[in-house]
Structure 1
Amino acid sequence: MSLDPDLAAFIAVVEAQRGRPVPEMTIAEARAGMRALRVDSVRPEDVVRVGEVTDEHVDDLPARVYRPHDADGPVPTVVYFHGGGWFRGDLDTHDQVVRRLVRDTGAVLVSIDYRLAPEHPWPAATRDAVAAVRWVAGRLDTYGGADVLAVAGDSAGGNLAAVATQELRGDVPVAAQLLVYPATDLLGHHPSKDEFASGFLLSRAMTDHINTLYFSGSDPDPDDPWHSPLHGDLAGLPPAVVATAECDLLRDEGEAYAAGLAAAGVRVDAVRYDGMIHGFLDQGHVSPAAAAATSDVNRRFAELLQTVR
């Protein structure tokens, strides 16, 4: 293990500013804390420029559509699901993440503001994800214009992208997936959950808290692919980029998902970023290594989109 020193310093600052662990906060406090970290700290001059951004609705869900500068003809459409543990995060907290993807891929991105727990527990977010991808698939001419539809997401959003892709297989032609440090086995045990249980921002105590909120008192089957796509049928799924972080407790389940896809005959570009932690897509402003990792993720996805056009 070789935690990036810039991220180590960032962790210390964030933990000090929090004052107390997320599981001890109210839902409102936890959501406000994420916005402070990802929205309020962004300076106007640091906003990644794209061609056009509009707030719209996708199947009655709030959404934000990002279009690239000077698209040369029809381009792919990518439906994006933000992270945040299914109980926080929104269009604003992942605005910069999506802007970078638009800039680096040249695709149209449709970012979805799905329903959050505990107000809307599982499977509300999953249903929203499936409905959103289906809705966008029927309207590609109004987005990127090409026949290429892809899904993408980070963390909880990577989970939703994976579940929606499985659910829509054979019905909606999803051509590619980008899954960044995805949660794929919520109730399963993997060694990285012990190795990185504390000290790396996303803790085991926090994921336990997230599960409590997400399932809100229900007792789900641990192997239900509607919350843990690792247990689903992986055959016949579209090619994927699966990115994990070395110092992340979700690392092993993300890599298990990539291995499962490959074993099922799916083309997979699996990459682990050494020294990185969960959330590195939005940590480039404090870590040059995180910025480089993010650029590499986006490059890999751009190359995948080129191959499926």
Structure 2
Amino acid sequence: MPLLSLVVSPRTAVESRALRAAMSAPSWARRLIAGRPVMIDGQTLAPDLQMMLRLQAIARPRDEEVPIAMMRSNMVREAAIVGGQQSIGEVRELVVGGRPARHYLPSEPVSSDPGPLLVYFHGGGWIEGDLDTHDAPCRRLAERSGVPVLALTYRLAPEHPFPAAHDDAEAGFRWVVDHAAELGADPQRIGVGGDSAGGNLAAGVALAAARDGVPLAWQVLLYPCTDLERDTQSLRLFGEGFYLTTAFMDRANDYYVPRPEDRRDPRVSIVRAEIPSDLAPAYVVTAGFDPLRDEGETYARMLADAGVTVELQRCTGLIHGFVNIVGVGSSSRAAVDDVADRLRTALG
């Protein structure tokens, strides 16, 4: 029988059920809670996410100044509330490159050993996030696609500033390639992916793999951070009120890359990297109401200009962090399912 999601506290379970009920209420009730439609830059915010943001602002405004330990624990709790219970064939706890990892094996894999594998890096601004915050989306991606997912971890700032996360991501990926047989994976069918800061790390891994001749079949970059010196229209439009805020990004930058001169380093601001023409094909997904939208799309255009096979998908009505929202509402889950279907096509 498929395993269910991680055990959560009774309070978190109650909050998750309450949010699911609210987001499944009759349309008139949802409109009453959410208010008038939000339309910015020719886009309309998904009604279920608009209501969720409204409820969040009423119940528990996001505090960007809390101690880092509290910020991390809050993210775990919030992820459990919106992630819901996602079935999966099997989950294995591993150690990869000396760091915790989690291997998600779907109930119906697309192929037997050796088969495909997606190596996944979680988001969180390089300062928060872990295996638990991204447990639900990893389960959903693996079970829906039939492609096993291996979630890797990396050291977090401010305890471990740049380039610690980048180095851990690259070392973890190399370990996976070297131990592919142990993981039941075909080295020629390994992909890499991640969201936000994890998308940044996945992109960096793909660049390093191309430079060093390490096989990589595909990369999926979900609303990736690509430029720490960002000055974009999407930042000005969506830096407040749509979950990811300018204040959080400033704090993440200060913690992960405390030396301003390092923020132009192509290992973190990947829009400054030289793009190898033989880089793995990329699937770049952005969210319409995300301050990182424009820099993610700029990177996708850079890849295309360099001759890399790239597909860009903007989810116009969604917000930053939608990959975690697979247990409540419908718009984010549908987008994650689309990513899973694309994963199955690319690697399956």
Is this a same-fold pair by TM over 0.5? Answer: yes
Change (3 A) 1:214 1:221: closer
Counterpart contact for 1:112–1:132, Cα < 8 Å: yes
Q: Which amino acid aligns with 1:255?
A: E
1:104 paired residue among 128, 134, 144 = 144
Structure 2 residue corresponding to 1:93, chosen from 109, 127, 133:
133
The 5-angstrom pairing of residues 35-184 of structure 1 reads: 35-39=76-80, 46-71=84-109, 72-73=111-112, 74-147=114-187, 148-169=189-210, 170-184=212-226
- Runs of 5+ consecutive residues of structure 1 not aligned to the other structure: none
Q: Which has the larger radius of gyration?
A: 2
Coordinate RMSD, CA, aligned: 1.6
**Alpha-carbon offset, residue 291 of structure 1:** 1.5
The alignment partner of 1:66 has SS state of: strand
How many percent of aligned residue pairs carry the same amino acid?
42
Q: How does 1:5-16 map to 2 (within 5 A)?
A: 5-16=47-58
Alignment match, 1:208:
250
Q: Secondary structure at the match of 1:265?
A: coil
1:270, distance to aligned residue in structure 2 (A): 0.7
CA distance in 2, matches of 1:133, 1:198: 35
- The alpha-carbon deviation at position 35 of structure 1 amounts to 1.0
Tell me by how many angstroms 1:104 deviates: 2.2
Query: Partner letter of residue 117 of structure 2?
Result: T
Cα separation, 1, equivalents of 2:60 and 2:66: 9
Letter in 2 for 1:86: W
1:224 corresponds in structure 2 to 265
Residue 220 of structure 1: SS of its match in structure 2?
helix
Equivalent residue, structure 2, for 1:270 = 312
Partner residue of 2:40? none
SS in structure 1 at match of 2:264: coil
- TM-score of the aligned structures, taking structure 1 as reference length: 0.93
1:145 shift after superposition: 2.7
Please give the secondary structure, in 2, of the residue aligned with 1:186: coil
For the residues of structure 1 that align with 2:303 and 2:253, how far apart are their CA atoms? 25
* Residues 241 and 301 in structure 1, CA contact (< 8 A), matched pair in contact too: no
- Provide closer, same or farther for how the CA distance between residues 9 and 117 of structure 1 changes in structure 2, counting only shifts above 3 A: same
8 A Cα contact 1:121 1:213, kept in partner? yes
Moved more, 126-135 or 221-230: 221-230
Q: Which amino acid aligns with 2:154?
A: Y
Residue from 301, 325, 329 that aligns with 1:287: 329
Distance 1:219 1:204 in 2: 17
Question: The residue matched to 1:246 in structure 2 has which SS?
Answer: strand
**Inter-partner Cα distance in structure 2 for 1:145 and 1:222:** 35
Q: 1:261 is matched by which residue type in structure 2?
A: L
SS of 2:235 mapped into structure 1: helix
Equivalent residues, number:
301
Equivalent-residue separation in structure 2 for 1:16 and 1:31 (angstroms): 21
Aligned 8 A contact 1:77 1:140 in 2: no
Aligned-pair CA distance for 1:105: 2.1
Q: Which ranges of structure 2 fall in alignment gaps of 5 or more residues?
A: 1-42
Find out whether 1:190 has 2:232 as its counterpart: yes
Shift of residue 70, structure 1, vs aligned partner: 4.0
Shift in Å, 1:208: 1.0
TM-score (norm 2): 0.83
Structure 1 pair 190–135 and aligned structure 2 pair: CA distance change class (3 A)? same
